[in-house]
Amino acid sequence: MKILVTGGAGYIGSHTCVQLLEHGMDVVVIDNLANSSEESLKRVQEISGRPLEFHKIDLLERAWLEALFRDHQFDAVIHFAGLKAVGESVQIPLSYYRNNISGTINLCETMANHNVKTIVFSSSATVYGEPEQVPITEEFPTAAYNPYGRTKLFIEEILKDLYNSDNAWNIVLLRYFNPVGAHKSGKIGEDPKGLPNNLMPFISQVAVGKLKELSVFGNDYSTPDGTGVRDYIHVVDLAIGHVKSLDKLLGKTGVHTYNLGTGRGYSVLEMIKAFEKVSGQRINFNIVDRRPGDIAECFADSTKALKELDWKTERDIDEMCADTWRWQSQNPDGYQ
Ligand code: NAD
Ligand code: UD1
């Protein structure tokens, strides 16, 4: 089976490539390396002991996509490629809409031309906006509060329209909660460019001494300790969710939507404590104002993925922290 992975050099894509290769699948990666480096793919091949094919292609370059699809008969596409920084998306919304939405349209048009009609799309819990209650099921109403979130929501809608226009499509929308952690080997992990936006890479860079202290965004939320609660999911569990989606859904048609989360929320202070415990490092932090746009609490009901994909998470919070720490301490400057 041959799988095209867009954005495969990135954080979640590289971990998914390892799982696909270990599952015996042939993998072709395209990535424009806007937020990643080819080194991650070298390490993916070291870990799995199997080769993959890489092409530096931008999804906006339609002609290159066409050429790629002429050369390969893909069974499915896993579509990770996209820009993902919420704050940046507010500053440069048109770049986000062009890259994420136009990129996806180019991809789908090329797929249709070559009769490849199975796509697994990286969606996000951000499409639930501010949920009225937790845990969140797939039926909850959707909303978006920033351009990044809107690209996810619009792409979901575009893919649903595509299916409605042609019932031969097989569309899997995976709504990720908060991916953290790294591969056990310590060879691949999250390598944010510049100052991290997300909690876990920030904590690990404080732990390794690259950053002085963490700002905790608010301790006056209506949560047990007042800090924000999220559903952190180990990136390897998330990667396995993609393989299970292909295992269960390849050959079917329809639009299939799944939450991928653990079903358990942890607060910022609990994350700090867990990280300190496994790393033995002290995490200096300071309570500051809330970050605009943040919600109090968010965690998944992933029962549907368990029932239909036979998928559930197996890695707990200690493992998420230990694996993040191994990656960060062995690669203090990421892939550089
Ligand atoms: P990432 O930035 O590490 O990976 C995305 C990859 O896509 C990068 O390697 C980047 O170079 C590539 N890319 C971007 N635009 C491209 C284009 N036009 N053509 C070709 N390649 C392009 O991000 P990630 O954390 O691995 O996220 C993967 C996907 O999952 C993204 O779509 C993201 O929005 C989504 N997602 C991520 C999270 C998260 O917290 N990490 C949560 C929910 C959803
Ligand atoms: C972020 C994205 C969201 C995306 C989600 C999943 C933003 C605003 N939102 O959400 O679109 O779908 O990741 O990857 O970026 N925190 C701190 N200090 C920090 C960083 C974070 O206290 O330096 C807190 C936040 O307030 C939050 C928690 O840690 O309570 C997690 O934050 P983060 O990792 O950024 O994820 P989300 O806010 O869930």
Taking CA atoms only, the protein residue closest to ligand 2 atom 8 is 86
| pLDDT, tens digit, 9 for 90 and up, residues 51-75 | 999 999 999 999 999 999 999 999 9
Confidence label for 325 from pLDDT (cuts 50, 70 and 90): very high
Which pLDDT does position 217 carry in this prediction? 98
Ligand nearest to the CA of 17: 1
7-28 average pLDDT score:
98
How many domains are there within the chain?
A: 1
Which of 5, 6, 11 has most ligand 1 atoms within 8 Å of CB, for mutation?
11
Taking CA atoms only, the protein residue closest to ligand 2 atom 30 is 228
221-249 average pLDDT score:
98
Cβ–ligand 1 distance for 124 under 6 Å, the answer: yes
2-31 average pLDDT score:
99
Which pLDDT does position 264 carry in this prediction? 98
Ligand 2 atom closest to Cα of residue 196? 23
Tell me, yes or no, whether 85 lies in a domain.
yes
Ligand 2 atom closest to Cα of residue 146? 11
Which pLDDT does position 134 carry in this prediction? 97
194-205 average pLDDT score:
96
Average pLDDT, rounded, for the chain: 98
Ligand 1 atom closest to Cα of residue 152? 34
Tell me, yes or no, whether 323 lies in a domain.
no
**CA–centroid distance, residue 314 to ligand 2 (Å):** 23
Cβ–ligand 1 distance for 218 under 6 Å, the answer: no
Confidence label for 144 from pLDDT (cuts 50, 70 and 90): very high
Which pLDDT does position 153 carry in this prediction? 98
Taking CA atoms only, the protein residue closest to ligand 1 atom 4 is 10
Taking CA atoms only, the protein residue closest to ligand 2 atom 26 is 217
Tell me, yes or no, whether 52 lies in a domain.
yes
Cβ–ligand 1 distance for 36 under 6 Å, the answer: yes
Which pLDDT does position 136 carry in this prediction? 98
How many Å apart are CA 25 and CA 292, to the nearest integer?
42
Q: List the domain range (segments joined by +) for residue 10.
A: 2-180+233-261
Tell me, yes or no, whether 307 lies in a domain.
no
Tell me, yes or no, whether 134 lies in a domain.
yes
33-46 average pLDDT score:
98
**CA–centroid distance, residue 236 to ligand 2 (Å):** 20
91-108 average pLDDT score:
98
Confidence label for 18 from pLDDT (cuts 50, 70 and 90): very high
**CA–centroid distance, residue 56 to ligand 2 (Å):** 30
Ligand nearest to the CA of 6: 1
**CA–centroid distance, residue 7 to ligand 2 (Å):** 21
Global pTM?
0.98
Tell me, yes or no, whether 175 lies in a domain.
yes
Which pLDDT does position 260 carry in this prediction? 99
Which pLDDT does position 102 carry in this prediction? 98
Which of 122, 154, 198, 202 has most ligand 1 atoms within 8 Å of CB, for mutation?
122
117-126 average pLDDT score:
98
94-101 long-range Cβ contacts below 8 angstroms, 24+ apart: 96/147, 96/148, 96/151, 97/147, 97/150, 97/151, 98/60, 99/59, 99/60, 100/148, 100/151, 100/152, 100/155, 101/151, 101/154, 101/155, 101/158
Ligand nearest to the CA of 267: 2
Which pLDDT does position 62 carry in this prediction? 97
Q: What is the CATH number of the domain that holds 96?
A: 3.40.50.720
123-141 average pLDDT score:
97
Confidence label for 19 from pLDDT (cuts 50, 70 and 90): very high
Taking CA atoms only, the protein residue closest to ligand 1 atom 21 is 31
Q: Known catalytic residues?
A: 148
Confidence label for 135 from pLDDT (cuts 50, 70 and 90): very high
Which pLDDT does position 163 carry in this prediction? 98
Confidence label for 253 from pLDDT (cuts 50, 70 and 90): very high
Confidence label for 122 from pLDDT (cuts 50, 70 and 90): very high
Which pLDDT does position 74 carry in this prediction? 98
